[in-house]
Chains A and B, each alone.
Chain A
Amino acid sequence: MNNDVAVKVSDLSIKFNLSSEKIDSIKEFVIKTLKGEIKYDEFWALQNINFEINRGDRLGILGLNGSGKSTLLKVIADVYKPTEGKVYKKGKVVPLIELGAGFDPQYTGRENIFLYGSVMGMKRSFLTEKYDEIVEFSELERFIDVPLKNYSSGMRARLGFSIATVIKPEILILDEILSVGDAKFRKKCEGRIADLIETGVTILFVSHSIDQVMNICNKAMILDKGKMVAFGPADKVAKYYNERIVA
């Protein structure tokens, strides 16, 4: 295999069982099993996805709601196991699927920096060293000792983004996170991502904004009902998306 491959997805399929009613009590389970009433609707969230990107590539993933974009990112981030197929990746993956997944609302901002950092596999000593940088970037100096439950959603996202990008990831997974926060902070985030791109990070990026995809990405793919319908250079794919899918 090519040495420069950062992510390689081969024949990936994901199946969900959509049970018509969710069974989560023992009584129901026993009764329905005896009656033979447990039926599952199979639903393929992703089917036969194949692609490969190299180190330093920025892949934009486009598609309508429910087309499997987030599922794809979550498989790459190891949250879901593939039903079929394989995902190969090389390097440290930092998933930003939702900013601040791993925050505890009762903890203060300061304590959450260490908690969230450890979720990402960072060492405490590293976080202590980077602590000032994180707080400064998030612009939350005044609120850092306030419990997180009193933060607004924008403040939470700012803290999450500041922590997650302080490590230099090799593969960065971004799920629509650039659409949070105010315009000023968004600009700051985009600046930081641009810095990361310069260091040669590989990015997988989901967004509904074609402009953002064109700005950040060099490659793009379109997912439609779990199938990959296009893959190629970002500008061509974006044009196709505008013409065929959105219109």
Chain B
Amino acid sequence: MKNQIKTFLRYREFIKELVIKGVKLKYRRSYLGVVWSLIEPLLTMIVLTVVFGTLLGNTDRTYPVFILCGRLLFSMFSTGTNSAMRSISSNAAMLKKVYVPKYMFPLSSVLFNYVIFLLSLIVLIPVSIVLKVYPTWNLLLALLPLLNILLLTLGVGLILSTYAVFFRDLEYLWSVLLTLIMYISAIFYQPTKLLESKYAAILQYNPLFCIIDNFRSAVFSSEFNWGNMFYSLGFNVVILAIGLYVFRRNQDKFILHI
């Protein structure tokens, strides 16, 4: 344990460089650069609002903010896990030639996507102002779901990055699963109806929904569901522990498969 902390400190510069690299390269050679992390969720929000709001007759004024919250958190989860999953094979050249702690790659992938995600949260400010959703002190509670989403993405990312080394098909399978997860996380529909039906468990036991729900409560200053918060925190810690365990157990075999 002491040794691991020492190695981590020795390589903290490296992880910093990897995170900077991820952020820098994501938008390199595009004209608008990092502004895209604001425009993109904004555009998706408009599309979803038109489709689910106007066409399906959802007239709630604050609906775009509702969508935006869900969409931002979900895309953190999906881009973070995807990029962690590919991190080992895309850094194969380096892993074959020099020693670096291998968990640096999934960790930095999740972290740089998290940085971009935090930046993209800025877009909530103008949208909320325009739609007259004013924050109260409750907004501070948003820090909890923001921590939770990081833990969840990291845990799932570690598991995926381990098994994607041995089974390349995981990449395709995961993109299908992500679609499923998107539909069961109440991103563009109101969860109330589903929560009252017999399928409520789908949402209640879905840690990503719990996170999104907590975040929305903080933004809209509605009642904060502590049950959801603690459930997802517990879930995420367990997933992260599993992720660390499987990664550690298999990391020495990576080199033979990449």
Contacts and interface: CB of A to CB of B under 8 A. Distances in A.
Interface in B69-128: 93-100
B100 A119 contact: yes
A98 B170 CA distance: 30
A107 B25 contact: yes
A127 B102 CA distance: 23
Given A77-B99, A102-B98, A121 B93 contact: no
A38 B93 CA distance: 27
B170 A26 contact: yes
Interface centre among B21, B97, B98 (most CB of A within 10 A): B98
B169 A17 contact: no
Contacts, number: 71
Given A26-B167, A121-B11, A124-B13, A104 B256 contact: no
B98 A101 contact: yes
Interface residues of B, number: 28
Contact of B25 (A16, A27, A98, A106): A106
B168 A25 contact: yes
B167 A24 contact: yes
A12 interface: no
B149 to A, nearest CB: 27
A85 B24 CA distance: 43
B28 A118 contact: no
B169 A26 contact: yes
A79 B167 contact: no
Interface string A52-68: 00000000000000000
Contacts of B14: 118-119, 121
B13 A24 contact: no
14 contacts: A24-B168, A24-B257, A25-B167, A26-B167, A26-B173, A77-B99, A79-B96, A79-B98, A79-B99, A79-B255, A101-B98, A102-B98, A104-B25, A119-B94
Given A101-B98, A123-B13, 18 more contacts: A16-B256, A22-B257, A26-B170, A27-B169, A77-B98, A79-B255, A95-B97, A101-B97, A106-B25, A107-B21, A111-B21, A115-B17, A115-B21, A118-B16, A119-B94, A121-B10, A121-B11, A122-B13
Interface of B: 10-11, 13-14, 16-17, 21, 24-25, 28, 93-100, 166-170, 173, 252, 255-257
Interface of A: 16-17, 22, 24-27, 29, 77-81, 95, 97-98, 101-102, 104, 106-107, 111, 114-115, 118-124
